[in-house]
């Protein structure tokens, strides 16, 4: 099969989010949703890794997230991908950590296989 060069490479990847349980004291509950990660160019990846600590969470998320699947509200309705929702996610430390860790796993697996 021929290699296809894409202008924007986006890949779905499962992200596990752990949050303190509202019902089980002292425990965490985990859920998973799928994030569509943008595969950064090498020059962008170096910048991302160097600046990750000083980047605002919303700017970091805008660099690496192109969408999501299986992300719903309390009523089970899909939450569409948009800048407003991305900004809300950026204010949730557990979500930012989960997405950041998911991205590191996504890239770590890619590098291990190459």
Q: Is 89 exposed, middle or buried (0-12, 13-18, 19+ CB in 10 A)?
A: buried
CA 79 to CA 90: how far, in whole Å? Answer: 15
| pLDDT of the residue at 110 | 54
CA 43, 45, 49, 54 dihedral sign is positive
| pLDDT of the residue at 41 | 83
Show the 3-state SS of 86-98: HHHHHCCHHHHHH
pTM: 0.82
> What residues contact residue 114 under an 8 Å CB cut-off, 6+ apart?
none
Residue ranges per domain, the chain?
10-113
Angle between helices 42-51 and 57-64 (to 10 degrees): 160
Is 86 within 8 Å of 52 (Cβ atoms)? no
Query: Where is 37: in which H helix or E strand?
Result: strand 28-38
pLDDT in tens, the chain (114 residues): 777 676 778 999 999 999 999 899 999 999 999 999 999 888 877 777 765 557 789 999 999 999 999 999 999 999 999 999 999 999 999 999 999 999 989 887 655 554
| pLDDT of the residue at 47 | 72
| pLDDT of the residue at 103 | 93
């Amino acid at each position: 099969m021929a290699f296809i060069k894409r202008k924007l490479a986006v890949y779905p990847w499962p992200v596990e989010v752990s949050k303190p349980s509202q019902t089980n004291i002292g425990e965490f509950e985990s859920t998973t949703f799928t994030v569509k990660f943008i595969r950064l160019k090498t020059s962008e990846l170096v910048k991302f890794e160097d600046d990750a600590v000083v980047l605002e969470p919303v700017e970091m998320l805008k660099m690496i997230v192109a969408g999501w699947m299986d992300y719903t509200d309390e009523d089970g309705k899909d939450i569409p991908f948009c800048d407003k929702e991305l900004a809300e996610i950026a204010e949730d430390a557990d979500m930012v950590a989960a997405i950041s860790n998911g991205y590191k796993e996504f890239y770590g697996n890619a590098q291990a296989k190459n």
